[in-house]
Structure 1
Amino acid sequence: MKIDVTVLAATEFFAIPWLVGQDQDFFSKRGVEVENILAGSGGSATLRTQLSGDAPIGEIGYKSVLDAWSQDIPVRAVGGGAQGPYGGEFYALADNDRVNGIADIKKWAYTNPGSSVYALSFLLPKEAGLSTDGERIAAGGVGEGAALLEAGTVDAAWLPPSLASRNKGKFKQVVATSDYLTDFQQSVITASPAYAEEHPDVVRAVLAGWQESARWIAENPDRAAQLYAEHVDLPVKAAVGVVKGAIESNVWNVGFNPAALERATEAAVVSGFEGEVDYCEFFDGSFLPEGAARELPTKCGT
């Protein structure tokens, strides 16, 4: 069977297991050909595409899926995804001698209201034992944070790994998320309940292929970086930095991680989510491959 998949931030490290799965035939040898990796166009739009059947399986931001589930949109998290803190780093201008660490930041630039990056701008100083006071400015996108830094409007801004790796002489990292957080569910692999019921073997094949891809990346970082560099037109050296950073953070995991889910739910609340999360209804581990963890923050019935 041929399918397309939708992946959030498809120019960032989220796309790498999917690229590897295509290149190494980890999906096709299981009977599923992933033809196109489509860039997510926002959580709700991506989910509508998924529900329409045009891209029936996707990797979507945790909070976007959580918001959809709370609004009774039929979606299920069938696999893990990005569970490490990698990619949540904040940067200052390299020549800014005043800002060298998290305690120096008074003005933070994040992406958009309600985003995980917005939540991190509160969670990180809290974990560091610092005040969460300070000004937060919505950059409105990926590149706009860099523009705010250059204009001197903010002390630190979130920058995606690809941009930071490409501009190491221009920006310096002043907050490494992994210094404060060990587990953080950034994305989940999703399918509509109807599609999963009609095509369970496809869902299982995709998850098993993704799992094999994640293991292969850890063993072949340079080759994975080459694939990623070609995909996003990134210098190979910069791509190697992205891949190795993700590996060191243990970011990719097809199974469920209770600590990562609880931390991400905490971040979602900071970003405006209201209500309780019924993990047993929201998640379905029946499609996970052998060896993948199925534990959730709450114990579910058999």
Structure 2
Amino acid sequence: MRERKRKPLVLLQILSALLLLFLTGCESSPPQQKAENTVCRLAYTAKGYYAPQFLASRKGWFEAKGVTVQDVPLGMSAGVAGAEALVSGSADVAVMGDVPALIALASNRDCVLVAAYGGGEKMHSIIASEKAGITKPADLVGKRLGVQFGSSTHGAVYLYLEHNGIAPASVKLVNMPQKDLIEGLQSNSIDALAASEPTPTLALKKVPGAYEVAVLSGLGNDYPLLLVASKAFAEAHPEAIRAIVAGTRKAVDWINADPDAAGAATAAVTGAPASVEADMFRKMDWKVRLDDQTLDSLNKTAAFLHSIGKLKQIPDVKAHSRPDFLQP
């Protein structure tokens, strides 16, 4: 009889213990963790061409929900460093000129063209020394013209000479890194230089008597500056790519609205005079786009690079383009 009375009591105690254990477990369970932000590694070199990206980074204009843009600064290295960072996998997105972009698009790593944001027909110029005696295109025949081989300026020189009926072989083209061109002009080891901004502007300031022979415009090429991304990253994280585009737009708008202020902020990064950076901003065209002119320009440069053996195969630029990332 006593045994029967004890059974309900024991059962009640067991149920109470189980309930207490359940409630204690609920209270001690860790809070649910928030999803981590997508990290997008953005590579750029510390030059005025890439100001929209490093200005946007410093201004916080890449901020977007669920996205963290991580800078991969490449110092003052050559423009192709951006392509190398992207192709090697050390960056997810990189900014670069047209030649490095074509190299990246033709590489074994599948990359996509996101947008052009700068460039312009006035990007490249020919500057002559005081005693060069070059006043018209024909005067370049037999003269020593310094230019970095395999660059977009190199292609622009060929277009310029052919446009004016001059055989490129009749001009003594001297292969020089762009950073050495001004010194070459100062030492008279070349008669003239061909380069992209800001080298022409700096040459006019640094070399006594130097003068502008021509701006390499009107040749059907606007030499775009480009945002290129890993295809795998872009497809997996479109929100990160759109954050990069949105921040670049804000920086481009600032450059167009106040080139002096943007030039001063850029000079703090590049070390160039603020006036030179501002002059470069005014000389070039700044607009986020991915239009037919951009693709045509890239195809022209690609054909030239292929003709001189710099590019083994011409990438299908249109097939690699992703204009959908430009939509808000």
After superposition, give the CA deviation of every residue in 1:208-242 in whole Å (9 maximum; x if it has no partner).
21122112210111110111111122222222212
After superposition, give the CA deviation of every residue in 1:157-177 in whole Å (9 maximum; x if it has no partner).
124433443443413221212
Q: Which residue of the partner structure matches residue 134 of structure 1? A: 171
Q: Which residue of the partner structure matches residue 215 of structure 2? A: 176
What code does the residue aligned with 2:212 have?
Q
Q: Which residue of the partner structure matches residue 108 of structure 1? A: 145
Give distance in 2, aligned partners of 1:129 and 1:257. 30
Quick check: 2:184–2:190 contact (8 Å CA) kept in 1?
Answer: yes
Q: Secondary structure at the match of 1:266?
A: helix
1:196 aligns with 2:234: yes
Q: Which residue of the partner structure matches residue 209 of structure 1? A: 247
Bigger Cα Rg: 2
Q: Which residue of the partner structure matches residue 299 of structure 1? A: none
Give distance in 2, aligned partners of 1:52 and 1:154. 36
Residues matched between the structures, number: 280
Closer, same or farther: CA 147–42 of 1 in aligned 2, 3 Å: closer
Quick check: 2:126–2:200 contact (8 Å CA) kept in 1?
Answer: no
Closer, same or farther: CA 52–229 of 1 in aligned 2, 3 Å: same
Residue in structure 1 matching 2:134, options 82, 99, 109? 99
Q: Which residue of the partner structure matches residue 47 of structure 2? A: 12
Deviation at 1:277, TM superposition (A): 4.1
- For structure 2, the 5+ residue unaligned runs are 1-36
Closer, same or farther: CA 236–42 of 1 in aligned 2, 3 Å: closer
Q: Which residue of the partner structure matches residue 244 of structure 1? A: 282
Give distance in 2, aligned partners of 1:36 and 1:67. 19
Q: Which residue of the partner structure matches residue 266 of structure 2? A: 228
After superposition, give the CA deviation of every residue in 1:186-223 in whole Å (9 maximum; x if it has no partner).
43211111111221100111012112211221011111
After superposition, give the CA deviation of every residue in 1:122-158 in whole Å (9 maximum; x if it has no partner).
111222344433221101x123222332333333212
Q: Secondary structure at the match of 2:124?
A: coil
Q: Percent identity?
A: 19
Quick check: 2:202–2:276 contact (8 Å CA) kept in 1?
Answer: yes
Quick check: 1:6–1:59 contact (8 Å CA) kept in 2?
Answer: yes
Q: Which residue of the partner structure matches residue 297 of structure 1? A: none
Give distance in 1, aligned partners of 2:47 and 2:79. 16
Q: How does 1:1-302 map to 2 (within 5 A)?
A: 1=37, 3-7=40-44, 10-28=45-63, 31-39=67-75, 46-51=82-87, 53-93=89-129, 95-96=130-131, 98-106=133-141, 107-112=144-149, 114-132=150-168, 133-139=170-176, 141-169=177-205, 170=207, 171-178=210-217, 180-181=218-219, 183-246=221-284, 250=285, 252-272=286-306, 273=311, 275=313, 277-290=315-328
What code does the residue aligned with 1:168 have?
L
Give distance in 1, aligned partners of 2:78 and 2:263. 26
Quick check: 1:5–1:38 contact (8 Å CA) kept in 2?
Answer: no
Give distance in 2, aligned partners of 1:274 and 1:39. 28
Quick check: 1:56–1:192 contact (8 Å CA) kept in 2?
Answer: yes
Closer, same or farther: CA 225–71 of 1 in aligned 2, 3 Å: closer
Q: Which residue of the partner structure matches residue 298 of structure 1? A: none
Give the TM-score normalised by structure 1.
0.80
Give distance in 2, aligned partners of 1:275 and 1:24. 39
Closer, same or farther: CA 213–260 of 1 in aligned 2, 3 Å: same
Q: Which residue of the partner structure matches residue 294 of structure 1? A: none
Deviation at 1:41, TM superposition (A): 5.1
Give distance in 1, aligned partners of 2:90 and 2:106. 23
Higher helix share: 2
Q: Secondary structure at the match of 1:271?
A: helix
Deviation at 1:43, TM superposition (A): 6.9
- For structure 1, the 5+ residue unaligned runs are 291-302
